[in-house]
C-alpha cells in the first residue's frame, strides 16, 4: 500500500488540466506510468485520484460485495459513477474530466491533498472550508476515532 504525503495548491487551465505536483510525481514514480483512476468523493464534493495499483486494491474490496443484495448493487453503482482512467501527458499535466470538474465545483484554484493511498482534488475554497476546525473539536474526534485503538502507534 502506498503512503502518499503532501498538500499542494495548483491552478487548472481553460481545458481542465492541472500540472501534477513534482513532489507527487517523485513519490509515485514507480506507478505513475500505469495511470490513475479518478472518481467522485463519497462524503464531500471533491475528487479522489487513485494510482492504478491502489485502485485495484479498492475495486477488489468492492468486487467482494454480494450483488444479490440490492443495497450492495446500489452502492456499487453510485461508487462507480463517473469513474475514469486518466494519465499524465508528456508535459506532466492531468486532465480532469468535465463531468467530474462540474461535480467537484472546481474553479481555477485547486488543492491536491494526500489521504494516505490516494489524492483528493478540491476546489480551493471548498478545501479550506473542509479543513477548517476548532482544535478542541478535532481533539475530541481524534480521541473518539483513535482512542480505543489497542495497537501501539509504532506497530
What digits encode the pLDDT tens for the residues 95-123?
Answer: 999 999 999 999 999 999 999 999 999 99
Distance of alpha carbon 14 from alpha carbon 75, whole angstroms = 33
**pLDDT band at 150; cut points 50, 70, 90:** low
Q: Determine, yes or no, domain membership for 2.
A: no
Q: Determine, yes or no, domain membership for 23.
A: yes
Q: What is the pLDDT of residue 154?
A: 54
Q: Determine, yes or no, domain membership for 29.
A: yes
Structural domains in the chain (count): 1
Q: Determine, yes or no, domain membership for 153.
A: no
Residue 132 maps to which CATH number?
A: 3.40.1550.20
pLDDT tens by residue, 55-80? 999 999 999 999 999 999 999 999 99
The model carries a pTM of 0.88
Q: Is the pLDDT of residue 1 over 80?
A: no
Residue at grid coordinates 479518478: 38
Q: Determine, yes or no, domain membership for 101.
A: yes
Q: Determine, yes or no, domain membership for 151.
A: no
Q: Determine, yes or no, domain membership for 85.
A: yes
Single out the residue of 132, 117, 123 nearest to residue 103, CA to CA: 123
Q: Determine, yes or no, domain membership for 76.
A: yes
Q: What value does the mean pLDDT take over residues 78-103?
A: 95
Amino acid at each position: 500500500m502506498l503512503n502518499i504525503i503532501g498538500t499542494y495548491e495548483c491552478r487548472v487551465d481553460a481545458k481542465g488540466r492541472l500540472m501534477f505536483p513534482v513532489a507527487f510525481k517523485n513519490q509515485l514514480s514507480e506507478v505513475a506510468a500505469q495511470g490513475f483512476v479518478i472518481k467522485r468523493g463519497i462524503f464531500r464534493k471533491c475528487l479522489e485520484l487513485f494510482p492504478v495499483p491502489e485502485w485495484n486494491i479498492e475495486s477488489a474490496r468492492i468486487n467482494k460485495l454480494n450483488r444479490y443484495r440490492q443495497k450492495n448493487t446500489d452502492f456499487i453503482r453510485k461508487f462507480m459513477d463517473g469513474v475514469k482512467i486518466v494519465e499524465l501527458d508528456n508535459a506532466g499535466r492531468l486532465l480532469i474530466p468535465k463531468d467530474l470538474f462540474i461535480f467537484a465545483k472546481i474553479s481555477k484554484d485547486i488543492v491536491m491533498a494526500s489521504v494516505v493511498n490516494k489524492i483528493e482534488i478540491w476546489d480551493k475554497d471548498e478545501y479550506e472550508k473542509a479543513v477548517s476546525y476548532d482544535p478542541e473539536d478535532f481533539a475530541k474526534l481524534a480521541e473518539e476515532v483513535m482512542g480505543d485503538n489497542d495497537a501501539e502507534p509504532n506497530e
